[in-house]
A = this chain, B = another copy of it.
Amino acid sequence: SVNLERLKKYIDASANIGTIPGNGVSRLALSKEDKEMRLIFEDWMKEAGLKVRVDDFGNMIGRREGKENKSPVVLGSHLDTQPNGGRYDGILGVLSALEVVNSLNDSNIETLRPIEIVNFTNEEGARFEPPMLGSGGTSECLDKQYVYNQKDTEGRRFEEELEEIGYKGIPANRIKNIFSFIELHIEQGPILESEGKSIGAVNGIQGMAWLEVKVTGESDHAGTTPINHRRDALVATSKMIVGIEEIGRKTNAKTTVGRLTMRPNVANCIPEEVIFSVDIRHDSNTKKVESIRMITELLNKLAVEQNVSINIEPLWDIDATIFNPYLVDLIKNTAEELEYEVMDIISGAGHDAKYINSIGPTAMIFVPSVNGKSHHESELTHDKDIEKGANTLLNTVYQLSMM
Contacts and interface: CB of A to CB of B under 8 A. Distances in A.
Given A82-B269, A234-B241, A269-B82, A223 B258 contact: no
14 contacts: A188-B224, A210-B267, A220-B374, A223-B348, A223-B349, A224-B348, A226-B254, A227-B255, A232-B245, A234-B241, A258-B264, A258-B268, A258-B270, A260-B265
A262 interface: yes
A266 interface: yes
A375 B270 contact: yes
Interface residues of A, number: 71
A190 B373 CA distance: 52
Interface in A85-136: 124-126, 129-131
Contacts of A242: 235, 238-239, 242
Interface string A227-270: 11100101101110110010011000011111111111111111
A376 interface: yes
Interface in A370-393: 372-376
A272 B224 CA distance: 33
A188 B221 CA distance: 7
A223 B270 contact: no
Contacts of A376: 218-220, 272
A377 to B, nearest CB: 9
A239 B262 CA distance: 18
A266 B277 CA distance: 9
Chain A interface SS verdict (over half): loop
A227 B248 contact: yes
Given A206-B223, A221-B188, A277-B267, A234 B254 contact: no
B279 A223 contact: yes
Interface string A320-356: 0000000000000000000000000001111000000
A267 B83 CA distance: 12
Given A245-B227, A375-B219, A266 B259 contact: yes
B234 A269 contact: no
Nearest to A278: B267
Contacts of A131: 268
A241 B235 contact: yes
A374 B221 contact: yes
A191 to B, nearest CB: 9
Nearest to A253: B227
B189 A281 contact: no
Contacts of A374: 220-221, 224
Query: Which residue of A208, A238, A349 has the most chain B CB atoms within 10 A of its CB atom?
Result: A238
A187 interface: yes
A375 to B, nearest CB: 5
Query: Which residue of A190, A223, A372 has the most chain B CB atoms within 10 A of its CB atom?
Result: A223
Query: Which residue of A234, A258, A350 has the most chain B CB atoms within 10 A of its CB atom?
Result: A258
